[in-house]
Amino acid sequence: MSVVQKGKKAGAKFCEVRFFEEKTKYISIENGVAKSMSSGILHGVGVRVIIGGRWGFASTNVTTKPSVETALKDAIGGAKSIAAQRGEEAKIVDQKAVVDMVVHKPKVDPNDVSEEEKMKRMLEIEKAARTYSERVKDTFVSYREVLTRVVVANSFGTVVEETTPRTAVYCSVISKEGANMQTGFKGVGNVAGYELVEAIKPEKFSVKAAETAVKLLDASPPPRGTYTVVVDPDVGGLFVHEAFGHNSEGDLVFGGQSIISGKMGQKVASDLVSVWDDPTVQKNGHFVYDHEGTKAEPHPIIDRGTLVGYLHSLESAAKLGGKPQGSARAQNQHFQPIIRMSNTFFAAGDMSLEEVLEDVKVGVFLSGSQYGYVETQKGQFTCKAEQGWLIEKGELTEHLRDVAINGLTLDALKNVTAVAKDLRIEMPGMCGKSGQGMYVDAGSPHMRFEGVVVGGRR
């Protein structure tokens, strides 16, 4: 009898067994030296049940049948032990059984390229940045290849398996002049093999990181106060992911932690704003099945200013009355699937960048994302950009560094007054939520927001 069947027999209303395996290789270059190489293998099983109206989850690295059965016992025992406590009832939508196997085949298998060759290539990419200027102090390039295999089996009869290769290269540069030090960064990553590395042109990649770091040495701190702000596709991507996207996660919505809870069908943004989360796009957040075995579909969230959807798991779909479209993923076997964004973006508008800028008398242009976060329950966000420019009479003038913006998400979305047509989704990274990291991507066209707080020391 399978572990899923044993779970059902023990009284579980729902039982899910998820096998996870991830093989990683990593090369790290610093100032012309490939000083370390590493590799790791994660593997294990996570078991999840609903029993007595509560979720129970248990995981183990040991993949033998007795060990998985112990995990099942732990999951069942755990759920039963909290069943009597007042709290959030576990319920899910019924699903039809799906049996499928997906293998994302890379064009160039990283296993067919020697470690020496990879190292040589990374050193070339790094050298281009290091030799860009005498003001470059330190250069770092890292290469990562990951092969992930996930098998999900559940009591609906679903058995899906997906094997995904991911490759990423990151370059960061520190520039220095006297006591002044600045940084520049560039990264690429996707569901891909070594072809991603072969396509890198150092002059458009590591040299760009060096150029940013060096030019920032002569930039000024930003003025502070409330300004008209124009964001580039990276800062727009950071905003749509952090400030808005997390609010659309169904678990935060039914958990009362989102500012768009109860706002379905209502106007939440300017007519110019449409937001999508789309795991079917071939970007870093791409997958075919989520970790509950649901097939991924594009999810519209805002359509021309109106809230039209949330991101769903089996549970949030049941609680909020939606349809699961594949948004539940887990970092590895040790975590239960939770609702995650995939490739999240503002849809393109119809303006040129010049048109977005031309009406701005005084404003701030933000470029390149550094980090962002949101308090979803209050809808207050912070986004830190890599650099910025003052906008005066529609022209970019003074170069600015260490620029961050803050605001209330719904106010900001209502104050979008221009959207360009140049959508770009190129922010491969990891998103953190509830202690879990997950592969995501984000993007946007150039956009204009009125009345945003810009922080700075001037």
Partner 1 sequence: MTNMEKIDIITPVEKAVKLLSKAGLDFFDVYAAYSRGLTIEILGKGIKESMSRTDLGLGVRAYKNKGLGVAFSQSLKAEDIETTAHRAATFASVAQPDPYFKGIPAPSKAAKVKGLVDPEVAALTLEEVGGCAKKMIRAVEAVRRGAMYQGGLGTGHSRGFLMTSEGVSVEAEKTSVSASVGPTYRRGDDVGSSYEYDYGITLKEIDFEKIGRQAAEKAVEQFGSKRVESGTMPIILTPDSSSSLIFALLGAISGESVAKGRTFASGCLGKQVAPSVLSVVDDGTVPGAIASGAFDGEGVPRRRVEVISKGTVKTFLHNYYSAGILGAESTGHAVRGGYGGYVGTGPTNVQVKPGDSTLDEMVAETKAGILATNMGFTPNDVSGELSTTVDEGFLIEDGEKKHPVKNLMVGGHMLELYKDIELVSKEGRTVGKGFFFPNIKLKQIKLAGK
Distance in angstroms (rounded) separating the CA atoms of residues 65 and 201: 48
Residue 204 CB contacts under 8 Å (≥ 6 apart), including other chains: none
Any contact of residue 204 with partner 1 (CB under 8 A)? no
Helices 115-130, 206-216: crossing angle, 10 deg rounding: 30
Residues in region 166-195 near partner 1 by CB under 8 A: 174, 179-183
Sign of CA dihedral 205, 209, 210, 211: positive
- Of 198-206, 254-262, 419-427, 441-449, the window that binds partner 1 (rule: CB under 8 A) is 254-262
Amino acid in position 302: I
Name 422's Cβ contacts closer than 8 Å, sequence gap at least 6.
233, 348, 353, 445, 446
- Smaller CB separation from partner 1, 281 or 410: 410
Window 72 to 131, contacts with partner 1 (CB under 8 A): 73-75, 77-79, 81-82, 85-90, 115-116, 119
Please tell me the count of residues contacting partner 1 according to CB under 8 A.
85
55 binds partner 1 (CB under 8 A): yes
Task: Give which of 190, 191, 193, 195 is closest to 170, Cα–Cα.
Answer: 190
Binding to partner 1 in span 426-455, by CB under 8 A: 434, 453-455
Among 402, 416, 423, 442, binds partner 1 (CB under 8 A): 402
Q: Please, what is the minimum distance in Å from the beta carbon of residue 450 to partner 1?
A: 14
Token look-up 């975590």 returns 335
Query: Does residue 211 belong to the site contacting partner 1 (CB under 8 A)?
Result: no
Q: Minimum distance between the CB of residue 348 and partner 1, rounded to whole angstroms?
A: 29
Minimum CB–partner distance for residue 349 and partner 1 (Å)? 26
Q: At its nearest, how many Å lie between partner 1 and the CB of residue 261?
A: 9
Q: Cβ closer to partner 1: 105 or 179? A: 179
Residue 53 binds partner 1, judged by CB under 8 A: no
Among residues 166, 186, 384, 446, the one that binds partner 1 under rule CB under 8 A: 384
Give least dist CB 63 to partner 1, A.
8
Instruction: Dihedral sign for Cα 337, 340, 343, 348, please.
Output: positive
The contacts of residue 347 (CB under 8 Å, 6+ apart) are 274, 275, 276, 423
According to DSSP, residue 323 is labeled -
Nearest to partner 1 of 131, 352 (CB atom): 131
Pinpoint the alpha helices (H) of 131-199: 195-198
